[in-house]
Amino acid sequence: MGYDKPAHPFITLIDINNIRDLSEYRDRQMIVGFYTITLKDGFNCKLKYGRQYYDFSEGSMMFTAPGQVITVEYKPSDTQGWMLCFHPDLIRKSQLNSRIKDYTFFSYDSSEALHLSEREEKTINNIVNTIKEEFNRNPDIYSEQLIVSNLEVLLNYARRFYGRQFITRTRVNKDVVSRFEALLTDYFESKSLVDNGLPKVKYLAKKMGYSTNYLSDLLKKETGRNTKEHIDFELIEKAKFLLLGTEKSVAQVAYMLGFEYPGHFSKFFKKKTGISPSEYRE
């Protein structure tokens, strides 16, 4: 990228303005072994969320985790911002290491970026500047702890701001929920349930045009249930209908619902309702 070597072995902050022209690497894919948090600012563009486009001119943040495939894009001359990169070893011995999976936005698609207000962007930049000052100073016994602590504060603010974004886009989100519920209902009413078994979260997210984590978080905010919980709810409703509305045996109902073994269905049904399928029917 033509940038300076990192001052710290596990974390660095890159000024996007100082990255050289990457047009020769355009559309080339790579897999990186570290986390990245990127904020782009100061230019107009469009991002697509599901089936809708949104214009924005304030800052937008994107997050990637180790092992994800990244496609290099050409950097316009008016692009501004920064990219904070940190290696998993930075947080390996900290409590953040066990909590990092809770920050699900590291698995969102680039089209599901976090769009910041001016005040939110100022908050984020202040924290990042504190992190930068800390890893550029002479290290002492407190350095790594302070870096990780501020990094966790940054992630907590990002989670709060994503929560605000879900709320402010509630009209669009309700349309997503309606389309998702229709998709799930159609799946359960079609032959797909018998032929292919229960729908996978990844399958439904792909059909909706979202990443698995983003769709699940959106549904949780709007309905109180994530994608898996929606599948389970629809499955129980379908099971109740078949148990009360048909004369089919519990084993036949299990097979109709995509279960390979009736025992698995009975165990699942009792876990969700508190009684067995036979007891429910009685």
pLDDT in tens, 123-182: 999 999 999 999 998 888 899 999 999 999 999 999 999 999 988 887 778 888 999 999
Strands (E), the chain: 11-15, 29-31, 35-41, 45-49, 52-56, 60-64, 69-71, 80-86, 114-115
pLDDT at residue 77 is higher than 50 = yes
pTM value is 0.76
Please determine, for residue 47, whether its predicted confidence score (pLDDT) is greater than 50.
Answer: no
* Domain residue ranges of the chain, discontinuous segments joined by +: 11-168, 171-281
At 74, is the pLDDT very low, low, confident or very high (cuts 50, 70, 90)? low
- Rama region for 67: left / alpha / beta (φ>0; ψ in -120 to 50; rest): left
Kindly indicate the confidence band of residue 276, based on its pLDDT and cuts at 50, 70 and 90.
very high
How many alpha carbons fall within 13 Å on the CB side of residue 140? Answer: 4
Q: Count the residues in the chain.
A: 282
> What pLDDT, on a 0 to 100 scale, did the predictor assign at position 72?
65
Mean pLDDT score of the chain, rounded to an integer? 86
Confidence at 52, pLDDT banded by 50, 70, 90: very low
pLDDT at 104 (0 to 100): 94
- Lowest mean per-residue pLDDT among 57-71, 80-94, 249-263: 57-71
Taking 80 as the threshold, does the pLDDT of residue 73 lie above it? no
Tell me, what's the pLDDT at 204?
94
Q: Facing residues of 60 across strands?
A: 40, 115
User: 260: pLDDT confidence band, cut at 50, 70 and 90?
Assistant: confident
The pLDDT score that the predictor gives to residue 258 is 85
Taking residues 45-72, report their average pLDDT: 63
Mean pLDDT of 264-279: 93
Residue 20 has pLDDT above 80, yes or no: no
Helix (H, G, I), strand (E, B) or coil at 159: helix
Q: Which fold has domain 11-168?
A: Jelly Rolls (2.60.120)
Q: Which CATH number describes the domain made up of 171-281?
A: 1.10.10.60
Give the pLDDT band (50/70/90) at residue 49.
very low
- AA letter at 208: M
Nearest 5°: the CA angle 101, 131, 70 is 50
Q: Which one has a higher pLDDT value, 47 or 131?
A: 131
pLDDT tier at 79, thresholds 50, 70, 90: low
pLDDT tens-digit readout, 200-210 = 999 999 999 99
